[in-house]
Amino acid sequence: MLRESTNRKSQTQNSLFQILYCLTLVDSVKKNCFFIIYAPYKFENNYVFKKKILIGIVALLGVIQFIKPERNEGEVFGINHISNVITVPADVSKILVVSCNDCHSNQTYYPWYANIQPLAWWLAGHVNDGKKHLNFSEFATYSAKKQNHKMEEIAEMIEKHEMPLGSYTLVHTDAVLNAEQQRILIDWAKANYKPGIE
């Protein structure tokens, strides 16, 4: 619901970006297919060879559509959510929801192309990897030492501009953190980091 409060302009921008991104993708597929289809002509005009390759590609794409990765569609704000052990002010929460939760919580907001393989596999890889390192929905299950270390990591990752991932903000332009949002996250993470518990 917080997601809906991000302004309309950035949502339109976001959709336009997604369309542009897909057009580039389609273009690259077209170019590569063109090469695969016409490459045999360079050597000999082998129609059967060309047809076999084409059928092979189409069949493979068809088959992999059925191999769907498991979706990350659990509960974000359950009993183990970070807000049960650390105070998460509204402004911080809003940033986490828009910019981090897709990879660091038990729920991902999936774009339409998440239904297409192998894109869905690639997305699932990021989500699983992100959750393994830091999951705000499971934060309360971490030991005090681990929680403390994660707060330190959050400040560090934002300071180094390593999060949110560049491949993500390329498409999710609304997740890009401006200077103020970065400061809010860093201040919050540092305020909750206790150097003693290392």
**What is the contact surface with ligand HEC in residues (CB under 6 A)?**
99-100, 102-104, 126, 129-130, 133-134, 150, 153-154, 157, 163-165, 168
27 or 162: whose CB is closer to ligand HEC? Answer: 162
Which residue, 194, 185, 61, is CA-closest to 176?
A: 185
Nearest residue (CB) to ligand HEC, 82 versus 130: 130
Identify the helix (H) or strand (E) that includes residue 179: helix 179-191
Terminal-residue alpha carbon distance, the chain:
36
Between CA 28 and CA 32 the distance in angstroms is: 6
Q: How far is the CB of 122 from ligand HEC (least distance, A)?
A: 10
HSE on the CB side for 26, CA within 13 Å? Answer: 7
* Shortest Cβ 24–ligand HEC spacing (Å): 19
For residue 109, what are its two tokens?
A: 């907001």
CB of 107 to ligand HEC, least distance (A): 13
Minimum gap (Å) between residue 139 Cβ and ligand HEC: 11
Measured in degrees and rounded to the nearest 5, phi and psi for residue 107 equal -140, 125
Task: Pick the closer one to ligand HEC by CB: 62 or 74.
Answer: 74
Nearer to ligand HEC, 30 or 161 (CB): 161
Closest CA to 187 of 110, 77, 92, 105: 92
